[in-house]
Amino acid sequence: MKKLATIIATSGLVLGLAACGASPEEEAEKAVTDFAQAFEDKDYEKICDSIDPEMVKTMEEGGMNCVDGMKESGEEVAEEVNADDIEVISSEVAEDEKTATVKVKNKEGEENDVKLIKVEDEWKLSMQ
């Protein structure tokens, strides 16, 4: 999970999700667990599709294709990620429901905060 958190922090990886009927907290939590599953599955296109468009734009302006960049930097991490090993501890959504923080714990007991923003009604992992 530490490496996963590093990839999130370094690459600004983001996952979007819209869950019908779920609370904003449940939607944010699912976005995080779906992101971990996409990483485990090495579904780099899904990962990139879920990145905050501003982060993707920054990557592209820097000359990096998101999918290629994720394949290159995330291959080793993807080998070690098991989505079932990630436990959601808590989540907090801002009053305006535009940002959220989901606290997760990995199988080693390490805790990390995953930041999310709402983009076009979908939660996206963020660096904010």
pLDDT over threshold 60, residue 54: yes
Q: Edge-to-edge strand order for the sheet containing 122-126?
A: 87-93, 99-105, 111-119, 122-126
Residues spanned by the domain of 28? 2-126
C-alpha 45/C-alpha 2 separation (Å) is 22
Question: Structurally, how many domains does the chain consist of?
Answer: 1
pLDDT score, position 22:
86
pLDDT score, position 117:
95
**What whole-number percentage of the chain has pLDDT above 70?**
80
Q: Domain holding 12: CATH number? A: 3.10.450.50
Q: Confidence band (pLDDT; 50, 70, 90) for 10?
A: very low
Q: What is the mean pLDDT of residues 55-73?
A: 88
pLDDT score, position 19:
40
Q: What is the pTM of this model?
A: 0.77
